[in-house]
């Protein structure tokens, strides 16, 4: 029930914005994110931005994946 994709906000017009995923652009509703800014990454579900995507957290998560992928001690945690 939760299909959503990360998109970048390219322009804002009142209660609507234009956002893009790669080359694909569409109009979205931003009523759930009144403080959204152009250039923000947002998660879009059913044509609405439901939350900003925190890029720092995204990079940290990817770094965590990288660490999880490395060999570690018996407890299954990075040594």
Q: Which residues bind another protein (CB under 8 A)?
A: 1-6, 8, 15, 21-27, 29, 31-34, 41, 43-48, 50-55, 57-58, 60-62, 64-66, 68-70, 72, 74-77
Q: Least distance (Å) from another protein to the CB of residue 72?
A: 7
Q: Which is nearer to another protein, 8 or 12 (CB)?
A: 8
Q: Least distance (Å) from another protein to the CB of residue 77?
A: 8
> Contact 33/54 with Cβ under 8 angstroms?
no
Task: Write the CA distances from 29 to 18, 48, 58, 78, integer angstroms.
Answer: 9, 4, 23, 42
> Contact 40/9 with Cβ under 8 angstroms?
yes
């Amino acid at each position: 029930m939760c299909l959503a994709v990360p998109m970048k906000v390219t322009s804002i017009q009142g209660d609507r914005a234009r956002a893009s995923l790669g080359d694909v652009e569409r109009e979205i509703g931003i009523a759930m994110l009144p403080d959204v800014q152009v250039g923000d990454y947002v998660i879009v579900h059913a044509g609405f931005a439901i939350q900003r995507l925190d890029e720092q957290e995204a990079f940290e998560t990817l770094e965590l994946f990288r660490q999880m992928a490395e060999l570690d001690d018996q407890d299954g945690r990075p040594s």
